[in-house]
Chains A and B, each alone.
Chain A
Amino acid sequence: GENVEQHPSTLSVQEGDSAVIKCTYSDSASNYFPWYKQELGKRPQLIIDIRSNVGEKKDQRIAVTLNKTAKHFSLHITETQPEDSAVYFCAAKDDYKLSFGAGTTVTVRA
């Protein structure tokens, strides 16, 4: 089955700086790569996603890049704000189901 690895596990950034989270996947058949944000005690919320036929996607301060050859994808958050503090999960989809990374706890320091 699919195996998704996510790094780093924790990330502390100064407000206004950028944050980058990286994920690798094992199954070349995976074709959809979402990123979820989860605040404490809440459900995961989709923040951005990318399909395998696209190399990069941007939505305001967040962007995702995908390198199919290397089987890795990354989340970039620019101009970080305190409300960006949360746990972020990457995932890869093959056929019917998602496989998730272990998560990155992002802390934005004021």
Chain B
Amino acid sequence: NAGVTQTPKFRVLKTGQSMTLLCAQDMNHEYMYWYRQDPGMGLRLIHYSVGEGTTAKGEVPDGYNVSRLKKQNFLLGLESAAPSQTSVYFCASNPGAGAISSSYNEQFFGPGTRLTVL
């Protein structure tokens, strides 16, 4: 099991460029999440998904779009990058409310993507 993986690990963009971050999980989890982490601000939820084909806004969704076309993948897109989007991005997954496992509440995090927008 690879768990939760993220691609790429690092990226530098110029203002106005676009990019997509890929999150993949091989644990058959229903729920997936995208967070950004900035110094002194903890983890803030950008968007999340509670199943294939569904997405919902989190705390800081502006400037980002997401898609969940396949259960194992959750994509985060930046259409026109801004310096304020410089951050470390973490993806996470969770088994979901219907899971039998005792860890149905636990979120499993990916290794993170460090994004710099110049």
On whether the beta carbons of B41 and A102 are closer than 8 Å, the reply is yes
Q: Does A61 contact B (CB under 8 A)?
A: no
Q: Does B43 contact A (CB under 8 A)?
A: yes
Q: Which B residues are within 8 Å of any A CB, using their own CB?
A: 31, 33, 40-45, 48, 50, 56, 58-59, 90, 97, 105-107, 109-112
On whether the beta carbons of A102 and B109 are closer than 8 Å, the reply is no
Chain B interface mostly helix, strand, loop or mixed?
loop
Residues on A with C-beta less than 8 A from B111 are: 42-43
Residues on A with C-beta less than 8 A from B44 are: 100
User: Which one, B45, B56, B59, B109, contacts A44 given CB within 8 A?
Assistant: B109
Would you list 15 pairs from A and B whose C-beta atoms are within 8 A, ordered by A residue? A43-B110, A43-B111, A44-B43, A44-B109, A49-B106, A96-B48, A96-B56, A97-B58, A98-B107, A99-B45, A99-B59, A100-B43, A101-B42, A102-B42, A103-B42
Chain A: minimal CB distance from B64 (Å): 16
Q: Does A93 contact B (CB under 8 A)?
A: yes
Chain A interface residue number, banded: 20 to 34
On whether the beta carbons of A34 and B106 are closer than 8 Å, the reply is yes
Q: Does A89 contact B (CB under 8 A)?
A: yes
8 smallest A-B Cβ distances: which pairs?
Answer: A43-B109, A100-B42, A102-B42, A100-B43, A32-B105, A103-B42, A44-B109, A43-B111
Chain A: minimal CB distance from B26 (Å): 16
Residues on B with C-beta less than 8 A from A45 are: 109
Q: Which of A85-105 contact B (CB under 8 A)?
A: 89, 93, 96-103
Q: Does A28 contact B (CB under 8 A)?
A: no
Q: Which A residues are within 8 Å of any B CB, using their own CB?
A: 1, 6, 9, 32, 34, 42-46, 49, 51, 89, 93, 96-103
Whole-angstrom CA separation of A44 from B107 in the bound complex: 10
Given A34-B106, A43-B110, A49-B105, the answer on whether A89 and B31 have CB atoms closer than 8 Å is no
On whether the beta carbons of A34 and B105 are closer than 8 Å, the reply is yes
Measured CB to CB, the nearest residue on chain A to B110 is A43
Residues on B with C-beta less than 8 A from A32 are: 105
Whole-angstrom CA separation of A96 from B105 in the bound complex: 9
Chain A: minimal CB distance from B97 (Å): 8
